[in-house]
Structure 1
Amino acid sequence: MMTAVKSVFTSSHLQMPEYEPVKTYEKGYEERKYAPSRWVSTSLDLMTSEEATISKKERRESFFKLFNYISGENEGSQKIEMTAPVARQYIPGQGPACETKYTMSFFVPREFTENTPKPKAPDVTITNLPQMTVFVKKFSGFADDDKYLEEMKRFVSILEEDGHQVKDDVYYFAGYDSPFKLLNRRNEVWLVKDCEDGQLSHQVVPNASSGGDPAEKLETSGGEEQSHIENPAGAEAGAVGGAEAAGPASEDQTFNANPNEVGMD
């Protein structure tokens, strides 16, 4: 098991979702339009404050549910390559004591888009991301949820200063690097552009018992069965708007710095 984990997080050239770069702004953020894509996801409700964060234990458990899926816990026992990034979606609850919906997702490689293996675990689902436009802010270093929230608040202020409208009921964190990578780390905050085209901002999880219909075609515009679990940053080499090759993906500080042990920071 450990050999497999280390192999995933030391490999390179990971597939990433495709996007079209719209604009890079002087204040250091980007606007991107993502193509429709497919993800494998797991969700939970956080009974905490409006700015709910997930514990390391919960992040670790979510991550390994998805890692087990790509390791063969799916119909057909197919092995699926790791991709980047690991995306985390938060849909804040309304009020000080409401549930916040948290979803972690791995991008499904393009060769599995049309025939996505159904998950065996009842709390792992196949979800679709329709075409969407997002504002993206990159930052480096090791980042826990508090750091992501700090960066997100700064980003919201910058976008407001520049006159941009974004969805205020959802936000995303994205990690691209193994905890074994010490320098030039890549983290991103995504905020969904509040467009007039009706694009959705919330992930709608398909039937949890079946993992949804893997044969369902991806659509280029949102619908009730579509999800907005965004896929940050670049695409692999040759893809539309592909960013520079990033380090291998991880669940952002899920793993201990000790390369011989999987654990918490």
Structure 2
Amino acid sequence: MKSVFTLFTAALLAGCSVVGQSHVEIAPYTQLQVDESLGIDVRHYDAMVLVSADMAAHGQNGAFRKLFRYISGANEGARDIAMTAPVFMEASNGHQGVSIAMTAPVFMTDTPEQARMSFVMPAHFTLETTPKPTDPSVTLSEVSDYRVAAIRFSGRLSDRNVAKQTAVLQKWLLEQGYQPASAPLKAGYHGPMTLPMFRRNEVLIALQAP
């Protein structure tokens, strides 16, 4: 899987409370192995549709604004698709647009050669049924049969916390005999209004096929 990026802002997960309650759909996956003592699990995502913008070209804030405009209606057609709530129909750039409910998490890495930010679409979308962006710099792609190891932690998604959790996860992978297939990815599930102790953060590493 190509590197994808996570960014947390109040606009992304505005439905989160200060204690971590959220109405945002979680990208579905199957747990294959769990180490509860370390907060680590190996999981399998059947398929995910990603909508992406180039952070190198537009900057972090610019890429986020492009993606947020896309899920807010800057997309073509799809008027007959049953959307995850909320669903709003609005005209956008001369096209009939759909306001798409966001899914968590959104992924982030700091690798400059893969400077993309990507939102995960709701699970009922396929690449064929996902509304096409009206902005040509916003792209769609699909990831399938994606197996990762993830470590879950609370607090802030700071570089220090991410480095600490990444080291724990990499040590566990070595002990378990897994072969990494990607650089670590950061993931978060709550916005900045949620108290750090109630936030769900993750570091994920894709795994080679067994």
1:231 matched to which residue of 2?
none
1:181 matched to which residue of 2?
194
* C-alpha deviation, 1:29, in angstroms: 0.8
> Aligned residue pairs: how many?
174
* C-alpha deviation, 1:45, in angstroms: 4.5
Q: Deviations over 1:155-181 (max 9, x none)?
A: 2123223332112x4331111101000
CA contact (8 A) 1:16 1:107 kept: no
2:32 matched to which residue of 1?
22
Aligned with residue 141 of structure 2, among 127, 141, 151:
127
Q: Deviations over 1:209-248 (max 9, x none)?
A: xxxxxxxxxxxxxxxxxxxxxxxxxxxxxxxxxxxxxxxx
Tell me if 1:67 matches 2:87. Answer: no
CA contact (8 A) 1:17 1:35 kept: no
Distance in 2 of aligned mates of 1:107 and 1:194: 22
- Scaled by the length of structure 1, the TM-score of the pair is 0.58
TM-aligned CA distance change 1:87 to 1:21, over 3 Å: same
Q: Deviations over 1:45-82 (max 9, x none)?
A: 49xxxxxxxxxx93322222211110111223211112
Give RMSD over aligned pairs: 2.5
Aligned AA (2:15): T
Distance in 1 of aligned mates of 2:61 and 2:12: 18
1:83 matched to which residue of 2?
103
Aligned AA (1:195): A
Percent pairwise identity: 33
Structure with more strand by fraction: 2
Question: Which structure 2 residues correspond to residues 135-150 of structure 1 after superposition, within 5 A?
Answer: 135-150=149-164
TM-aligned CA distance change 1:165 to 1:73, over 3 Å: same
Which blocks of at least 5 consecutive residues in structure 2 are unaligned? 1-9, 17-21, 77-95
* C-alpha deviation, 1:20, in angstroms: 0.9
SS in 1 for 2:187: strand
CA contact (8 A) 2:12 2:191 kept: no
Which blocks of at least 5 consecutive residues in structure 1 are unaligned? 47-56, 93-98, 197-265
